[in-house]
């Protein structure tokens, strides 16, 4: 069974990347998702507020669509839900949180932007890698190279805009109860940036949400455990037709 929209057509899918990553984040999922509907990867690099990023996503998205975001992409997805919930057929939140930044996290982000603007974006990426991935992948050179490539593709100024948007995001916890579409929450069991309790908070706040904890994965679950995440996303898309 494939996911279907109101008119029996396939369900368009919008994927939102995270901080310092590009469409490559979802490459392992694309072949399977394309079997259920056209897939668009949103541009989240041109604006420095969540509201503006969400408006840009909505301006380029189909009239109605399934929406998935990882990390920063999840923050953006929650903002999309505030702006235009009637357009979202289903929501998938991967390795993300409904909570705003703490003052300590904002200071850390500001330091990273300053380091990047001083010509050391590669150092920012290197410093982050071990907490981005599961502890068993600290020596995964291929994955480290891919993360570095995505950062280079993003660039310093887009990174700065992304960080500004993240630092100024609102607390989404009060809005979770208003989400009425079928929702999937995914988290790696070894995610150190947005650990499983934050995913549990999301799932508990959204009526009927399904929580999937991916074993052996850190924060970059789509790349670290692609088969498990693809299966979860395909099941979610397929559920959209049966729930309508």
pLDDT exceeds cutoff 50 at 41: yes
Please answer whether residues 30 and 59 qualify as being in contact, where contact means their C-beta atoms are separated by less than 8 angstroms: no
Q: Are 186 and 227 in contact (CB under 8 A)?
A: no
Rounded Cα distance, 114 and 119, in Å: 9
What's the confidence (pLDDT) of residue 10? 87
Residue 219 is predicted with a pLDDT of: 98
Average pLDDT over residues 165-180: 97
* CATH code of the domain containing 57: 3.40.50.1820
pLDDT tens digit sequence for 195-234 = 999 999 999 999 999 999 999 999 999 999 999 999 999 9
Residues forming beta bridges with residue 65, ordered by sequence position = 88
H/E element, 40: strand 39-41
How many domains does the chain fold into?
1
Give per-residue pLDDT as tens, 49-86.
999 999 999 999 999 999 999 999 999 999 999 999 99
Enclosing domain of residue 137: 1-244
Edge-to-edge order in the sheet of strand 13-16: 39-41, 13-16, 65-70, 88-94, 183-188, 210-214
Q: How confident is the model at residue 9 (pLDDT cuts 50, 70, 90)?
A: low
């Amino acid at each position: 069974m494939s996911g279907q929209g109101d008119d029996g057509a396939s369900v368009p899918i919008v994927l939102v990347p995270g901080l310092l990553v590009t469409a490559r984040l979802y490459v392992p999922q694309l072949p399977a998702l394309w079997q259920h509907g056209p897939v668009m990867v949103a541009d989240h690099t041109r604006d420095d507020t969540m509201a503006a990023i969400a408006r840009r996503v909505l301006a380029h998205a189909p009239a109605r669509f399934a929406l998935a975001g990882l990390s920063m992409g999840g923050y953006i997805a929650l903002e999309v839900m505030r702006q235009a919930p009637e357009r979202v057929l289903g929501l998938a939140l991967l390795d993300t949180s409904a909570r705003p930044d703490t003052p300590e996290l904002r200071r850390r982000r500001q330091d990273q932007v300053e380091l990047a603007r001083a010509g050391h974006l590669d150092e920012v990426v290197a410093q982050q890698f071990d907490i981005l991935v599961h502890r068993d992948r600290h020596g995964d050179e291929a994955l480290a190279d891919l993360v570095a490539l995505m950062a280079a593709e993003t660039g310093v100024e887009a990174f700065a805009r992304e960080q500004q948007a993240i630092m100024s995001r609102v607390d989404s916890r009060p809005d979770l109860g208003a989400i009425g579409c079928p929702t999937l929450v995914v988290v790696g069991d070894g995610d150190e940036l947005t650990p499983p309790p934050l995913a549990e908070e999301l799932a508990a706040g959204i009526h009927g949400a399904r929580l999937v904890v991916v074993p052996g994965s850190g924060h970059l679950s789509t790349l670290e455990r692609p088969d498990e995440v693809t299966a979860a996303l395909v099941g979610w898309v397929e559920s959209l037709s049966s729930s309508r």
